[in-house]
Amino acid sequence: MQSFITDTLDTILKTTQTFEEVEFILPSQRAGVFVKQALKNKIKTGFLPRISNIGDFIEEVSGINKADSVQLLFHFYSIYKKEEPKADPFDVFSSWAFTVIQDFNEIDQHLINAREIFVYLRDIHRLRKWSVSGTFQETELMKDHFAFMERLHKLYELFYEFLVDKNIGYQGVIYREAVKKIDDFIPTKTSKKYFFIGFNALNAAEELLFQKMLAAGNTEVYWDIDKAFYESNHQAGSFIRKYKTRWKHYQNNPIETIAEHFAATKNIQVIGASKNITQIKYAGEILSTFSNYNNTALVMADESLLPITLNSLPPKVDAVNITMGYPLKDVPTTSLLQIIFRLFLNQEKLQKKESQLFYYKDVIALLKHPSIYQLLYIEDENISDVLSEVIVESNSTFVSLEKIEKFFIQIPEKTKAVVLGLCKPYTNIDEFLSRVITLLLILKDTANELEKEYLYRFYTAFTQLQNLHDTFNYIQDLKTLQQFFKQLIQSESLSFQGEPLQGLQLMGVLETRVLDFENVIITSVNEGILPGNHQQTSFIPFDVKLEFGLPTYKEKDALFSYHFFRLLQRAKNIYILYNTEHDVFGSGEKSRFITQLEMMRNDIKEEIISPKIITTVTEEKEISKTEDVLERLKELAEKGISPSALTNYLYNPFSFYKQKVLKIKEFDDVEETVAANTMGTVVHDTLEALYKPFEGKFLTLSNVTMMQQKTKELIVFYFSKHFKNGDISTGKNRLIFEVANRFVINFLKQEKELLKDEANQLKIIATEQTLAAHIQVDGLDFPVKIHGQVDRIDQLNGVTRIIDYKTGKVESANLKVIDFEGVRELKFHKAIQVMLYAYLYTQNKQYDFSKPLEAGIFSFKNLRKGFLKMNFSSNYRTPDNNVTQERLEEFMSEIKEYIKEIYNPEFSFVEPTDLKY
């Protein structure tokens, strides 16, 4: 394939025999590598020309070095503080200063008269606040904004003068100074020959510099444009058509480098894919069909998909050259540094700085981060695992430094000093930065080659930040430092260095400038990505930009149009992929560039693809009953099955197997917010403590009044017992505490209302009584023990009541049972529990069924309904609440069937596929 580079070199070699005094100037440094390789294949002996990118050339002309954005920000704040009587604090300043510097940059790059545009902006704002009646009301915010716009020009002038004096600057300063010095620069380079290769969209400063160089007679410009775009009205050729019309040089000289490759026969496929992951995976499938990748480029319009892409390349791709940066925000070291910031910021936020306590999640996250975790091994045991278990066991929401230090005794001193040093109080930002830098140096000792690249990138960034802080001392708190860190990882990337001339080329759209490939795959060709959206962060409105000739989204669209179509000019096999889905990850609308391409050619193949869906039958989780399982079940029969265990089996036999056969407990975690079961336990224990002294006695109004006085004290006591080290004084836990307290208060109120009627006699028989009974099940040669703890047994006006407390909501319908064969349903599981309690009570007490017996629930979330009783009547108007001997026998015959099923080897433990929860 004849590329633009080889075409251009062939043209140059016709008139240039030696390259000793020749300089090639290219849009990017990467293109220079390909130019050198092409030249080596074309010339046998001799010097190579000097190869520069446009940035280096402009710096050479201007004599000013480019400064990075963070350094510029510190210098700008110094000037701003001197000029502004009421200067914003540094963290507020940094939130808008980057935008201002970007506006300054555009103004300088396009050689706009700064005074004119800032006066124009000032006048616009003055008009906005002008009023005929003079009644315009300015808020403080508006006053600040207007005052800021009034002084913007003064800030620009002072900043510009400062940078020029220091010989540093942002790109716009370098361009403006280069324009001022170009007339002095050209006479010193009369013996040199300059070739500008592969440019397209130029800013006003570049246009002027190019024209000056062309007028000097020792410069040639080689544009990369196809006839299809140049001679039509196509957006991709708009910039070069403008130069042809406006530049004096082209009034008498033609543009000789117009090629005609786009019209050639090509294999072009436009592929719509659902979701980003699908298009990236399909790109991998396309690559797997290629025999080699030496002339293949995978171009990513959305560079954030790089991590997914690297994991989707086919195994046969043995060499990849990544011509884009890997975002720092995706680097593992970033998460570690964010944890360190969060450790102290949460300490301040939760007001634990004075007591030097850390939020337990931050401590565990720090110690379990892979970079730290690997440093904490003592033989086969890891300190972070041991500490995590202790934190959970003690239910410590906050952890002290002293507690952490106890576990670090056997860790090597060097590691101990660094890791524990991270948690110690810091006196100033400089000390904090030193800690982070020391940590990065320690981590490099155990890091692999790739991790060392990450660490070195952060080491240089934090060292620079420390130097700037030492010089300026503008960062006064950790929150401001964290903001800087966020800005750094959002805008910076880790550059990859590979062999650019071998293997698959993985690149962004802008990196394709000047380069040509035979096989091109472009992903994410959607509106809003290629071209990008129209949002521009700027203090200069759109209409003002038009008035002064500053670039808007229109120029940006034209630029990306050029890059897209230029990439297709010489390619033979082109695969264009876009996302078809309308979601947060994209508009789902294919790019206008695809539509334009379809209108220009009639040989495009289009298809919509979707992932291959392999239907799999969901297999139920099933465990057969082996001899070992049956032996464990026999042990369970001796130990006893509780009503809750039985209902658990009825709901999910597989869960019953895990809990009762395998004895697997749920994973313990720190109970930061009071769990529902903890609140239930507190309410149960409080009621037991209140009613226990009255067992065997009739309850009186005065008894309940006395209980009411003890309620809050008991609630506090049982919360401290079951919610270890938990704080119930604030937040959600305070609300849960108040709810638990209200549950008990409302229940006692209801008891008082009952006892106000002197005809009511309430005798407390027992509270939290443990009952057990052995039953014989057909087919089993051993008895099965049923046991449970009844919350309360009392006698109201001669009727014995079996009572279960529920802090959740229970309806009367849950306790209405006509036919016991249907109680297996989930809604009747609470009825099973209270009926089993009734059975256990009657068996233990040899109950006389000539006396009435009732069983039911007090639901604290449905307390207005009072005592919810078992109801055996089909007529809702005439309930039947009496638990008779016949009903208990009928109920137990059904329960025995369930138990027989548990012990039947033919019935496996199967997890239902339609579980509600």
Identify the weakest region by mean pLDDT among 129-133, 206-210, 729-733: 129-133
Chain center to CA of 504: 30
Q: What is the pLDDT of residues 575-595, one digit of tens each?
A: 999 999 876 555 678 899 999
| Average pLDDT estimate for 297-323 | 87
What is the full DSSP assignment across 778-804?
Answer: TT-SS-EEEEEEEEEEEEETTEEEEEE
Q: Strand 853-859 and strand 867-869: pairing?
A: antiparallel
Q: Which stretches of 278-346 are assigned E, i.e. beta strand?
A: 296-300, 320-323, 325-327
Q: How confident is the model at residue 174 (pLDDT cuts 50, 70, 90)?
A: very high
Intra-chain end-to-end CA distance of the chain, in Å: 63
Identify the weakest region by mean pLDDT among 68-72, 327-331, 596-600: 327-331
Q: What is the pLDDT of residues 33-75, one digit of tens each?
A: 888 888 888 887 778 899 999 999 999 999 999 998 888 989 9
Nearest to 539 by CA among 101, 78, 94: 101
Distances (CA, A) of 686 to 124, 681, 689, 863: 71, 8, 5, 17
Q: Which residues contact 751 (CB under 8 A, 6 or more apart)?
A: 699, 704, 762
Q: What is the pLDDT of residue 137?
A: 65
| Average pLDDT estimate for 176-200 | 93
Mean pLDDT of the chain: 88
Q: What is the pLDDT of residue 442?
A: 87
Report d(CA 675, CA 30) in Å as an integer.
Answer: 59
| Helix residue ranges, H only, 588-730 | 592-600, 627-639, 643-651, 653-656, 676-691, 701-722
Residue 691 token pair? 């009613």
| Average pLDDT estimate for 881-887 | 94
SS3 content of the chain, % helix, strand, coil (to 5): 55, 15, 30
Q: What is the pLDDT of residue 586?
A: 57
% of the chain exceeding 70 in pLDDT: 96
Nearest to 182 by CA among 206, 163, 158: 206
| Average pLDDT estimate for 807-821 | 90
The better pLDDT of the pair 555, 743 is held by: 743
Identify the weakest region by mean pLDDT among 56-70, 148-162, 487-501: 487-501
Instruction: Identify whether the C-beta of residue 816 lies closer than 8 Å to the C-beta of residue 871.
Output: yes
